[in-house]
Structure 1
């Protein structure tokens, strides 16, 4: 950078005064100084940038097509110095230059929306420092005009909607005008809708829904419905809000089995458009202002293609809903009545809404015409947050980690070796969950202790409660215990709709795909050794062979990504005994470590697996890939005890002369395996850390 600046300065010195290229050279050197300032923060660099940009503007002839851009660059330099010094005169100078830039720009110019956005942002910055209402009014006017000039599908549209929403929020905070809040909410919802439809793979989609307050507003709406004794509305609103995020995670996957029976041609169209939208959305968008011209053209073509596909998507859905009997609500958010249809026969699905206003449980099961409403006065999101913080700290102190922490820095099975806990944090968390959440629900549902056959419970929690081990709630004394295992077999579900869709569309894998595919990676290159995986799969292999169950094992360097994907196509069940990574920032990049690298969820999902049975380890994304259920762990597990749990799990699945692996029994199999592990342990904190992390998710 220093050499570039030196060369540019030398060029300016050598060019004769009045030369037509001088303003352009000065503009370039100003940009170079600003670029270096952005990296070094050296005040002299931004001062030089401003001086060069000012000279470039002064020497540009009136009417020059380059003058608006040079004025915009000058304004940006003043704005950058403001961030460094806080001098209010800099933002005033920036606004003056940017206003002149906008005034000199011809209507229809491609850069006009961008310059209007920058001008609006500058007015917004000054308002934050002065609270002068005329500034925020100018900011909103400029940002609204920029939005009006931005074509549908443009890569910068979400950002411009965000800027307008932020400015409206600033004015609302000052004036408490409901109109500003209404417009801001509408802009944020529009941003979320645009991203969700036209850029479905963008990681900003979830941020958009969060900005639109979809999540928090949904919880508040459900709390209000419970206050008015309308549990049906609470279920409906929770499903609508939570299904938005789940649909994003499912990556446009749609339930087409029934539609194929009624109208295979329309089903084929839905599938084709869905895959085209998925493919278009998976290509990360890039700001058109920074890309080369060839990439700008390509980005615009992709934007137009996405717009066309989005219209096609809407048209085919309208056609299905208006012409195919029984599909009037196809892919629409479910009503409470439809949510209560096709629930599993053997148990309860319990949705728990946690909001600062109140906390409630909503219990549904097959045969009920409305949810059972159970108030939870002793629980709150603040308490849930405190429990999460305490548990996380205890796991860290015990050399464990929660599932959202990146795993590639750690040892053990996807993380550090399990340590021990001398405290009572986990026991206290489980006791509090039992007393204030689980036991009040069981009492209201009149569930008895130690029934002849344990019913199923599907937990669907909201807010911070979703990160706590409801499935293990109970009182664990040194010599006795009173806990959830005496009452029911627990599973989790992301939404009620997910569960009903699985019941309604359940299908068995073809006979030629029945069986278990196993991966063992005891010595993954670059990661810690987990030798117990070899013992684990060998024990399973022996059990499968005795029952004549079809199987495939990939071990060591044979366990490549390519070979693994092929086996996933050929086998209905998967057991992955290997390191895993959970990517909190980009969930679809979570995955499993094979010998030649990580196999990501996005890759697995794109395989469009037509599966029905059970997968072991790493949870929600595998449901989106097509598996009916997943056994996973909330934090690290002991390498020496994992083979015991796996052996007991498959012992149950293969018992009673069953032909093949019965995935429908997976939750009971895990319950059986954990109960056996508990008999080998005591109720100490260290023992609790050993078996509590195991969970079943799905049907």
Structure 2
């Protein structure tokens, strides 16, 4: 494979090897899932060197082919890598519709694949991959001029379903959790073909019955997540009378989703993913410089847009802030110019609180409404 100090000839040789691997017969695919995406990666690497669009188109063709061929047998990490790379390629071509379709299909597969990763030891890296795909998908959706509410639903479905699933697993009773994980293990074990000489048919029937029982247990567990498919802009009208809910998405474009009675978006052109990651690498996240940068790029534009441009004279407006990804590590509530005149900080203008997702807010309100008054007191 090409690397620093390599040559274009190295890439061409890697492409030939990858083409040989891709030429395997379909029945052999189950034994070579480790080559998933290899040819597309080679052509993508070549494109970065040549900047020839034909190489990029070949990369897309190879990656899309692998996505469909290996999907039944590859693990979700490989599928997410393929989807991410395809979206990067379509971003280069500015083909937002095709990139969005890849993202939507990958999102639909997440609940089916996630059961293979129900152990906490495997969860964190998977959540990071899924969330990054969700941020990317939301940016594609806005570029494709899709409805804002549908875009927010896509974002929340991607970054929320896996996290909620792991959280529910952690909260489950030990006996149920053991049964569920055992069922996942049975489904992960490949079905071995019967030996017509030595194997008895009854053993195959027993194995099939066991797998069907395991599938039912896992499917029942997954059914509870169908609610994630519903629109996100329902049920907020009463709750947002005192102030909006804000979801900040950071990707190759950065936007604020403003939830009141409907969902609206506001571009944040001064904010960039690269600047954010650089500040995280530099550290000093609570420095005056960082707080002023957060004010200039995020807080001030949003508050001014909402009409919160000065200190309130009576009742303070409330804002629920939902940062995503690495943005959640920054102190948005403290953004502002603290050494200047009053009114140039978040705390001068609004009462701000955090939440993990719009659905978490709705679920919290619903739980409060179900709690008897005397218990709340």
TM-score, scaled to structure 1? 0.37
Look up the match of 2:244: 348
Q: Residue 280 in 1 paired to residue 200 in 2?
A: no
Larger radius of gyration: 1
Look up the match of 1:217: 137
Q: Residue 432 in 1 paired to residue 346 in 2?
A: no
Correspondences of 1:153-552 after superposition (within 5 Å) = 157-158=75-76, 161=79, 188-189=106-107, 191-196=109-114, 199-201=117-119, 203=123, 205-206=126-127, 209-210=130-131, 213-222=133-142, 225=145, 233-251=147-165, 280-281=180-181, 288=189, 304-312=212-220, 331-335=227-231, 337-343=233-239, 345-357=241-253, 359-365=254-260, 369-371=261-263, 374=266, 376-390=268-282, 392=283, 394=284, 426-447=287-308, 448-477=310-339, 482-507=344-369
SS at match of 1:474: coil
2:311 touches 2:349 (CA, 8 Å); kept in 1?
A: yes
Gaps of 5+ in 2: 1-9, 48-54, 191-203
* CA deviation string 1:653-698 (max 9, x = no partner): xxxxxx6xxxxxxxxxxxxxxxxxxxxxxxxxxxxxxxxxxxxxxx
Look up the match of 2:52: none
Distance in 1, matches of 2:97 and 2:262, equals 37
1:354 touches 1:360 (CA, 8 Å); kept in 2?
A: yes
Per-residue deviation, 1:472 = 1.1
Q: Residue 115 in 1 paired to residue 7 in 2?
A: no
Distance in 2, matches of 1:453 and 1:216, equals 38
1:344 touches 1:500 (CA, 8 Å); kept in 2?
A: no
1:360 touches 1:374 (CA, 8 Å); kept in 2?
A: yes
Over 3 Å counting, the alpha-carbon distance change for 1:501 and 1:89 in structure 2 is closer
Distance in 2, matches of 1:362 and 1:224, equals 16
Over 3 Å counting, the alpha-carbon distance change for 1:252 and 1:449 in structure 2 is same
* CA deviation string 1:583-624 (max 9, x = no partner): xxxxxxxxxxxxxxxxxxxxxxxxxxxxx8xxxxxxxxxxxx
Equivalences, count:
336
Over 3 Å counting, the alpha-carbon distance change for 1:477 and 1:171 in structure 2 is closer
Look up the match of 1:268: none
SS at match of 2:368: coil
Per-residue deviation, 1:218 = 1.0
SS at match of 1:338: coil
Per-residue deviation, 1:235 = 4.0
1:113 touches 1:147 (CA, 8 Å); kept in 2?
A: no
Per-residue deviation, 1:491 = 0.5
Over 3 Å counting, the alpha-carbon distance change for 1:125 and 1:161 in structure 2 is closer
Over 3 Å counting, the alpha-carbon distance change for 1:125 and 1:115 in structure 2 is farther
Per-residue deviation, 1:338 = 0.5
* CA deviation string 1:26-76 (max 9, x = no partner): xxxxxxxxxxxxxxxxxxxxxxxxxxxxxxxxxxxxxxxxxxxxxxxxxxx
2:245 touches 2:320 (CA, 8 Å); kept in 1?
A: yes
Give the number of the structure whose residues are more often helix, by fraction: 2
SS at match of 1:217: helix
Per-residue deviation, 1:494 = 1.7
Per-residue deviation, 1:249 = 1.9
Q: CA RMSD in A?
A: 5.6
2:248 touches 2:324 (CA, 8 Å); kept in 1?
A: yes
Per-residue deviation, 1:471 = 0.6
SS at match of 1:457: strand
1:144 touches 1:164 (CA, 8 Å); kept in 2?
A: no
Over 3 Å counting, the alpha-carbon distance change for 1:304 and 1:187 in structure 2 is farther
Distance in 2, matches of 1:136 and 1:195, equals 23
Per-residue deviation, 1:331 = 1.0
Correspondences of 1:7-46 after superposition (within 5 Å) = none
2:111 touches 2:162 (CA, 8 Å); kept in 1?
A: no
* CA deviation string 1:629-655 (max 9, x = no partner): xxxxxxxxxxxxxxxxxxxxxxxxxxx
Look up the match of 1:39: none
Over 3 Å counting, the alpha-carbon distance change for 1:330 and 1:339 in structure 2 is farther
Over 3 Å counting, the alpha-carbon distance change for 1:159 and 1:144 in structure 2 is same
Gaps of 5+ in 1: 1-85, 151-155, 255-270, 290-296, 318-328, 396-424, 515-611, 613-658, 660-699
Per-residue deviation, 1:145 = 5.5
